[in-house]
Structure 1
Amino acid sequence: MAKKVDYYKKNPLIHRDRRLSKSSSKWVRSFSCEDLRPLIVCRGPIRKEAMDVYEEMGINHYGILLSEKDSIVYPNALAPELRQLTDPSRVHRVPDYTGASKEERVERINQIIQIAKDNNYDSIFAGYGFMAEDEEFVAAIEKAGLNFIGPNSITQARAGKKDEAKRTALEVNVSVTPGIDDVTVRTLLKKHPTRESLLALVKSEGLSCDEKILGDSKVSLESLANHILFASYAKGIDLFSIDELCAQVQVEVTEMFRKYPRSRVRLKAIGGGGGKGQRILGASLLVAKEVTEEAIAKAAAEAPGLVREVLNEVKANGVGDNKNVLVELNIEQTRHNEIQLLGNGEWCVSLGGRDCSVQMHEQKLLEVSVTKEGLEAAIERARAAGNEKEVKSLQNDLTILGRMEEEGARFGQAVGLDSASTFECIVDRDRHYFMEVNTRIQVEHRVTELCYSLKFTNPDDPNDFFVVESLVEAMALLARHKKRVPKPERIKRFGASAEARLNATDASLSPHAGGIIRYWSPPIEGEVRDDQGICLNNPDTDVFMTYTVAGAYDSNIALLLTKGENRLESYQYLSRVLRKTKLRGTNLATNLQFHYGLVNWFIANGVNSKPTTRFVVPYLTLVGTLKEEANKLDPVTAFLQMKKHYAARIGEMFADEPEAQAAELKNISNILDRKGTLLTRPMEVLLDDPHLLAGWLSLNKDNFRLEGGRVVWLRNPLVILDETYEYLNMSYDPKAPAAEIIWDHDNKVLQDALAFYSELRKRLKLGKEDFFKINELLQSEKAPKGFDDSTWQQVRSAHFGYEAGVEILGTLFLIGDRTKFYDFCVDEDMDIIIPEHLNDPDLQARMKKILVPPPATKADEIVSPCGGMYYAQEAPGMPQFIKEGDHFEKGQPLFIIEVMKMFNKITAPFSGTVDKILIEGGEGVIVTKGQPLFKITPDEKFVEVDPKELEKQRRECTIEYLKAVLS
């Protein structure tokens, strides 16, 4: 039998004994949870985490629920957790987790409860999926006599729905975002504006309402209308149409634009989450020369279509669904901060914060800890370095964190929070606004776990206590023992932590479903990888098992976490994790390289810098400009041209000495030939992937300067070349495949050169960074102290040979200069300066296509830009976007592709006429990337560019680049 590998052996969060029943303390033993029998009804990393934690707690009778969308519809996407839970009696299946309609959702709830009862489970854990904050689901579980491991249904009602949470926040004096939370009430009152008409409606529809409320003339019209609406939800009927709702939203949006000119408005479904059910409109007003009534009307006209998208995305478009949508001012240039909460219904504690501002499509990408201890330490480091503006900026963050933690705990106590939840805020410089509460554990909860442990102490004996390091464990503890659990003390664990979400997305961060993972390197020491067990090899053969990244759910593949004594350490370790991660497959696209480039950008520019929620798109646009410019440079052509340059230089130097000239030409040719692949291989890798290039340019920003358009090196380029191989994870390793590392003969050349300069520094008594001084000495024919003339000439000759050709690396700096890469930077206040041109929507759209070129297509067709579910209309009952024979304009919506729960409205890339719609069915049909959808006649003929002409342009550009690095 093959040797079995303990996948989690090096994971600092897993494999500690959590069995309280083994304690010598009677009080601690009384909090054992080993008799808990939970059914895990979620998927992804949290399911695997719950399984591990429950086993460590001694909970042996647990089961898991599998969706057939994971295990049947998509072959080879079988839940990897089955490699751990091999008892088939504890594995249960449903078609999907929530159902596609209200009727199916109710059916699924009853089905899950029945599975729990039939299999002797007493509790249900729903992780961080939508069901974890579904009030109806939680109430049904409680009614069935089961435990819900999460906030109770009353808390879900008061905090889970975004409109109710906002009202609660106002009641307890918590700062909220400007906007309205009762558009459904306003829609109903538009249709029935008087008390009499509302009462008549109750009678005509036979609604079950509280007679005291109906008969109390002091109850406001708004409160009466709200009460009637909830009665209609209970009966499963609609009191107004979606069209009427959309019209009212448009009215409210118009008023918001008038009240807050040059602002955008956010529409947010009350039951959304994880970036779903949100849309922003009004981008045109941000750049308009003048905000006129006509401009406002045009911007507000987008609202009805976006409302439909929002309701579709959260499945709230059925008859009788609560279709309320928040209409909020979109606070521009904000940071997204959140506070981890934990309560037992009587007490509520805050466990520090997380900055989640780096996000796209309203989904988080990179999350970092924000704690009192971490900020205080950062302030002291900045003060010691004399960075007073950074000190002031960090002190402001510390003040805001204190306010958010206090408000979060107050809010949690007000809603009777009896489990884990997250208090989410947006931060605008020295102000913050409450946004929403996620009444569930968050994807990024481990960021908090790495910073704080929880100490639960016997109120009668301060020396009697136990420590919990897992929020999943704390949730089980609270579900089992409820108000018996004493208020914990938070204890510092590590100084800082960071999490990168590894998603199935392409280089432009668009979802990319359907790829197959065929190999994934094991975690390195200290890495925390939550990947639902994909990396677990076959337990019998120890062979990696292929895994299909299905498109039915979100795009997350894994959560990669690191910790450190401070934020810089956590970022540096995350950079190492990303560098060492090898992920291979078929049709596989991930954001691994995006994260690697981005993390190194932060390391180079300042880990305490303050990205806003608008950071990623202009950053991607900048990376796109790198790719566009990098496409113009051919390192092999550059190297061959450089050889000609050196030959011409030798020819001039020895013009009157033919024999010497021939010898020197042969010598320099041999020297450069030995360096060909040493120099061009890493350059090709960097030029091929702009995310890698962005990180490399960031780390090397202080290693050069430009003088008169020419590159001047501030560090030895051979040292930078060695660091570049390490940065690309291509350092020499005799056990690694040759294709992935520096070749052995190249490594010998490089190591000989580094050894030469190391010895020379020792002889000259100079430091590692004294390249300028060494270079200056080597320019002189006069031997310095400690060298005779003959030896010094040999040293100079060796220096010339080692340095020859390495200047070609400087062409990469020119790419950074020509794209104004370094203008995207951080100021002394730690704010990020984003050049205005990177906010241009047209440039952003063009750079997205540079990063990921559209699929190959003929001039007479339109193809699917990605794989996913095709929809020809905006919502059921709505007309098709386009029909055969219709003429369409550039930018006009043509169809919708749903991929990984994101609804992407695809617009026409040019104007034309639809001759034939090629896809049959039209609704909910799975399509693949590049699949032809329409036969069309374009308004303008496409002229293909001659490849020979492109090659000629690239060659000319390469030669131009080379001139700037060769003196």
Structure 2
Amino acid sequence: MTSNKHYLHNPKVHADRQLANSDNEWVKSFSCTDMKPLIICRGPIRKEAMDVFDEMGINGYGILLSEKDSITYANALAPELRKLTDPGRVHRVPDYTGADKEERQQRIRQIIAIAHENGYDSIFTGYGFMAEDEEMVRSMENAGLNFIGPCADTVRDAGLKDEAKRTALAVGVSVTPGIDNASTLTVIEKYKDLAGLKKLVADEALNVEPALLDSKDKTLEEKANAILSASFEKGIDLFDLEELGEQLKVAVAKMFADYPENRVRMKAISGGGGKGQRILPAPSSYEGSLEERIEQATARAPELALEILNEVKCNGVGDNKNILAELNIETTRHQEIQVIGNGDWCMTMGGRDCSLQMHEQKLLEVSVTIEELKSSITEAEQRNAHTDEIATLKQDLVVLEKMEAEAARFGAAVGLNSVSTFECIVDGPSHFFMEMNTRIQVEHRVTELCYGLEFSNPANPSDSFVVNSLVEAMVLIARHSTRLPLPKRVARDNASVEARLNATNQALQPHAGGVITQWSNAVEGEIRDDQGISVHNPDTDVFMKYHLAGAYDSNIALLLTTGQTRLDTYQAMAETIRQTTISGSNLCTNLEFHYGLVNWFIGQGINARPTTRFIVPYLTAVGQLKDRANNIDIPYAFQQFKNAYVQSAAHQTTSKALATAIDRKSTLLMRPIEMLLSEPHIYSGWLSLNKANYSVHKGEVTWSKNPLEVLSELYHYLNMDYVDSAPALYQIWDHDDELLSEALAFYADLEQRLETKNWDVICNTLQSNTPPAGFDAPLWDAVVNAHIGFQAGVDLLSILPYIADQTDFFSLVINSDLSIEIPDALLDEQLQEQMAKVLVPPPVAKSDEIVAESGGMFYPREAPGMEEFIKQGEHFNAGDPLYIVEVMKMFNKVYAPFSGTIDKVLLEGDGVIIKKGQPLFKITPDEVAVFESDEEIMARKRKVTGLFLAANA
């Protein structure tokens, strides 16, 4: 990767890889400079590939741009063009994959034509869905192009989820309970028996060998599966979606009968990255007898199947519509193993924990390595940690070693000849294989920061070279294939972590269309992959604004840090985010969420083992903080504390002095407190970091650390340290800094004189009328008065732990076995929805309209050709679907928040671009909304604030 003061990368990530310039002939023989690849992906991986190719000496590569990047969205011109300025190497298509099967095939032909016409000999697809499209990969191979990634046979055997599951069973890999052949079962149900299947083959003239149908060694399912494959080749359907839906209902009902407490996950065989998946609630979430509950739980299976197929664009005639239904193991952790092979050998490179995700979209990804786990076990034993914690860490080490062994075995079984990812769910001592992603992953850097690959000459081990980039490894395998010897895994840093900076709002809902106008420079130790957005203008050194293209995924950048321990990496990530500022027009990011989450783990316990269900309850807890904070009047509380101090003063002179002392602290105290309460995610992290500094009993807050020290650290936490000549808006004001510095110097001197840093001891000493040793009466009186003056009004800081106590924030706690205790209240779906709206209030709408909750592509119906969800003149009930909005590649169905009647539909057509807050329907609600007046809002806030004051007077 290139490095400069604006776009920093860890220099250990990509070493000198100019193999062609090596003095060693064996090393030099692995040069790839004769390749001329076409990069047909987007996002950070496109920029990474460009940088890696440059460093490998691969010149003349080209890039493919989708016109959605630069035409639909103004100022969204691919930032890679700031580097690649040769127009002859930049090629454009309407979009990358097309809207349906016909367009997808058209796009494949178009890409092949571009490659041939421009002399490209290879294709790099990164981690887009094209990388796992067997038809595309095979077409590239048949066209004589070198595909930099797993070959078509591997994509078929490992990439399709149903085929992968069968292979896993054959080689002894643990798999999740469920069905992988819903479409095959549908065919059997429809055509009944072998005679029916033979008639089907004859009627449709399908290319199926008669010997296969007559074979006694083949099961009926195997024969039906062969017929299905023939139907895909011919481009016809053997059943309709309604028949598939009914078969899924039958299969899911059987699973629910065995596991009534579990949910069931349905997913398309070609899905991935969170796309093409839905979850059916468990029967236990319904009322009635077991049979009635199962019937209710399975009722939505056909509807969700249709949503899944729409989302992955497999609803056309002749598409493979197979959907898997698997048991959703509720306490699961999502872990994956990095696998690499060249067709002869296959090996692994450690794991990654991707459990911190929401809506199947990963948010924070953490390395899982043998070295880090062994280090954690040693550290836990040395500090005499709970035996449960040590047992969990040792158990994780055993599970990791098993998963790595299975991943290598599976990779060899499918003939892996590139980089892929073996995905598992972990449940205590058990693990289950989910799928193999036959592509490089977004989070691949998490692995390459921990491990490199050393290739040595079998005839002379002193001839060797090290590869620290998985993209480079993919290129080497594509170019040199089985010539590459089995490498040795080389340990680098023990741990790494990646935060996905996404265009999402405070509730982590996709937010399309924002413009980035400013982004702070990367800091030392930060590894930032942002496809070049933050590269400055080379002539003016000015940041160039960038319009995020909502037609694709929500990712803006990947932020990574490394360390010898997981704590090191999290602390480095927290420091990176603390110093990062990103701003713009209509811009929402999850930067604050990451800052709060990372600090939550630092404060609560870095070895915690969250499950995939953690994030939504965590968001709900954060929402409750915000909900309570919304009912607090900070200026009113400050004034009441001032009044109480003045009234309690013994003399008029003292009361005036106290009033003056408190007034001096008004902005010193209120600015950071109000800022923290306005950013609930950042507030969550602060509470966790400081939980040892206070206690709360019946609403009364007691500090175990000097509140002024806590205040000083709060300014630092908010990145508001005083910097000479910096804008006052973003830092502590100079007069406040002088006052705080004076106070801290006073207490530092007092601690030295009293020979203690214990705040309780210092406070008790200050309450004594007898001067301690080293102080005479006048001096001690001056010290006590100075202490009173410095602390006067600082009680306001207690509002922060008070709110946490009132919302029971710390009931979300880490258990001794490192699992996280999630209170039942935080699992309540109604509360979760309410708190999401607290974090992101719905756009203001008139009482007679419904407006768009987000920008994106508007669809009034479930699928092409179907009826609209709602029409003019129709009545709708709360919870009825109104429309679908496609945001950042995900289809989100929007439901009515209340009941009413549609007076007018304001949009026509499918795929209409909408903006957040745009009116969509004119309506007449069943009930008239009641709004609070300003006076009522003030009265409510002061009543709630009064409860805090009463407990902390």
8 Å contact from structure 1 (residues 811, 965) kept in 2 = no
Aligned counterpart for 2:748 among listed residues 744, 747, 758: 758
| Deviation sequence 1:320-365 (CA, Å, 0-9, x none) | 0000000111111210000000100011111000000000010100
The aligned counterpart of 2:937 is: 950
TM-score by length of 1: 0.97
1:18-417 equivalences under 5 Å are 18-283=17-282, 285-288=283-286, 292-387=290-385, 388-417=387-416
Count of residues paired in the alignment? 950
8 Å contact from structure 1 (residues 808, 965) kept in 2 = no
In 2, Cα distance between the equivalents of 1:58 and 1:707? Answer: 66
| Deviation sequence 1:431-463 (CA, Å, 0-9, x none) | 000000000000000000111111111111122
In 1, Cα distance between the equivalents of 2:205 and 2:459? Answer: 57
8 Å contact from structure 2 (residues 699, 948) kept in 1 = no
Which deviates the most, 880-889 or 425-434? 880-889
In 2, Cα distance between the equivalents of 1:712 and 1:903? Answer: 48
1:639-658 equivalences under 5 Å are 639-650=638-649, 653=650
Which deviates the most, 497-506 or 386-395? 386-395
Which deviates the most, 202-211 or 452-461? 202-211
The aligned counterpart of 1:587 is: 586
The aligned counterpart of 1:748 is: 738
User: 3-state SS of the aligned residue for 2:691?
Assistant: coil
In 2, Cα distance between the equivalents of 1:938 and 1:271? Answer: 41
8 Å contact from structure 1 (residues 264, 286) kept in 2 = no
In 1, Cα distance between the equivalents of 2:766 and 2:130? Answer: 70
In 1, Cα distance between the equivalents of 2:9 and 2:406? Answer: 37
Aligned counterpart for 2:675 among listed residues 685, 707, 718: 685
The answer to whether structure 1 residue 502 and structure 2 residue 516 are counterparts is no
* Displacement of 1:749: 0.5
The aligned counterpart of 1:658 is: none
Structure 1: stretches of 5+ with no match in the other structure:
654-660
In 1, Cα distance between the equivalents of 2:759 and 2:162? Answer: 62
**Cα distance 1:6–1:801, how it changes in 2: closer, same or farther (>3 A)?**
closer
1:722-733 equivalences under 5 Å are 722-733=712-723
1:320-719 equivalences under 5 Å are 320-387=318-385, 388-650=387-649, 653=650, 661-719=651-709
8 Å contact from structure 2 (residues 501, 556) kept in 1 = yes
8 Å contact from structure 2 (residues 399, 431) kept in 1 = yes
* Displacement of 1:5: 5.5
The aligned counterpart of 1:657 is: none
Which deviates the most, 633-642 or 327-336? 633-642
* Displacement of 1:6: 4.3
In 1, Cα distance between the equivalents of 2:943 and 2:810? Answer: 25
The answer to whether structure 1 residue 868 and structure 2 residue 856 are counterparts is yes
8 Å contact from structure 2 (residues 8, 528) kept in 1 = no
The one-letter code sitting in structure 2 at the alignment partner of 1:279 is R
TM-score by length of 2: 0.98
* Displacement of 1:709: 3.0
In 2, Cα distance between the equivalents of 1:879 and 1:942? Answer: 30
The aligned counterpart of 1:848 is: 836
| Deviation sequence 1:239-264 (CA, Å, 0-9, x none) | 11111111111221122111211211
The one-letter code sitting in structure 1 at the alignment partner of 2:294 is I
| Deviation sequence 1:759-794 (CA, Å, 0-9, x none) | 111112224xx1111111111121111111111111
* Displacement of 1:816: 0.3
Structure 2: stretches of 5+ with no match in the other structure:
none
The one-letter code sitting in structure 1 at the alignment partner of 2:367 is S
In 2, Cα distance between the equivalents of 1:10 and 1:760? Answer: 45
User: 3-state SS of the aligned residue for 2:399?
Assistant: helix
In 1, Cα distance between the equivalents of 2:916 and 2:492? Answer: 46
| Deviation sequence 1:178-203 (CA, Å, 0-9, x none) | 00001101111111111111111111
| Deviation sequence 1:49-95 (CA, Å, 0-9, x none) | 00011101111121110000111111111100001111111111110
The aligned counterpart of 1:930 is: 917
* Displacement of 1:559: 0.4
The answer to whether structure 1 residue 828 and structure 2 residue 816 are counterparts is yes
The answer to whether structure 1 residue 919 and structure 2 residue 907 are counterparts is yes
User: 3-state SS of the aligned residue for 1:11?
Assistant: coil
The one-letter code sitting in structure 2 at the alignment partner of 1:456 is F
Q: CA RMSD in A?
A: 1.2
* Displacement of 1:295: 1.8
**Cα distance 1:63–1:608, how it changes in 2: closer, same or farther (>3 A)?**
same
User: 3-state SS of the aligned residue for 1:72?
Assistant: helix
| Deviation sequence 1:703-725 (CA, Å, 0-9, x none) | 11123431111001011000100
* Displacement of 1:291: 5.1
In 2, Cα distance between the equivalents of 1:606 and 1:889? Answer: 45
* Displacement of 1:965: 2.4
User: 3-state SS of the aligned residue for 1:916?
Assistant: strand
The aligned counterpart of 1:736 is: 726
The aligned counterpart of 1:656 is: none
User: 3-state SS of the aligned residue for 1:426?
Assistant: strand
* Displacement of 1:14: 5.5
* Displacement of 1:736: 2.1
8 Å contact from structure 1 (residues 503, 558) kept in 2 = yes
The aligned counterpart of 2:827 is: 839
In 2, Cα distance between the equivalents of 1:911 and 1:6? Answer: 56
**Cα distance 1:193–1:10, how it changes in 2: closer, same or farther (>3 A)?**
closer
8 Å contact from structure 1 (residues 261, 291) kept in 2 = no
The one-letter code sitting in structure 1 at the alignment partner of 2:526 is E
8 Å contact from structure 1 (residues 10, 524) kept in 2 = no
User: 3-state SS of the aligned residue for 2:549?
Assistant: coil
The aligned counterpart of 1:814 is: 802
User: 3-state SS of the aligned residue for 1:795?
Assistant: helix
In 2, Cα distance between the equivalents of 1:535 and 1:493? Answer: 27
| Deviation sequence 1:207-237 (CA, Å, 0-9, x none) | 1122331332442211111101111100111
**Cα distance 1:13–1:45, how it changes in 2: closer, same or farther (>3 A)?**
farther
* Displacement of 1:590: 0.5
In 1, Cα distance between the equivalents of 2:273 and 2:291? Answer: 34
1:869-888 equivalences under 5 Å are 869-888=857-876
User: 3-state SS of the aligned residue for 1:702?
Assistant: helix
In 1, Cα distance between the equivalents of 2:469 and 2:726? Answer: 37
* Displacement of 1:488: 0.8
In 2, Cα distance between the equivalents of 1:261 and 1:537? Answer: 56
8 Å contact from structure 1 (residues 45, 558) kept in 2 = yes
**Cα distance 1:885–1:328, how it changes in 2: closer, same or farther (>3 A)?**
same
**Cα distance 1:416–1:878, how it changes in 2: closer, same or farther (>3 A)?**
same
* Displacement of 1:9: 4.8
The one-letter code sitting in structure 2 at the alignment partner of 1:234 is E
* Displacement of 1:622: 0.6
8 Å contact from structure 2 (residues 623, 836) kept in 1 = yes
Which deviates the most, 38-47 or 666-675? 666-675
8 Å contact from structure 1 (residues 148, 479) kept in 2 = yes
8 Å contact from structure 2 (residues 860, 868) kept in 1 = yes
The answer to whether structure 1 residue 785 and structure 2 residue 773 are counterparts is yes
Which deviates the most, 78-87 or 6-15? 6-15
The one-letter code sitting in structure 1 at the alignment partner of 2:747 is Y
* Displacement of 1:588: 0.3
**Cα distance 1:138–1:408, how it changes in 2: closer, same or farther (>3 A)?**
same
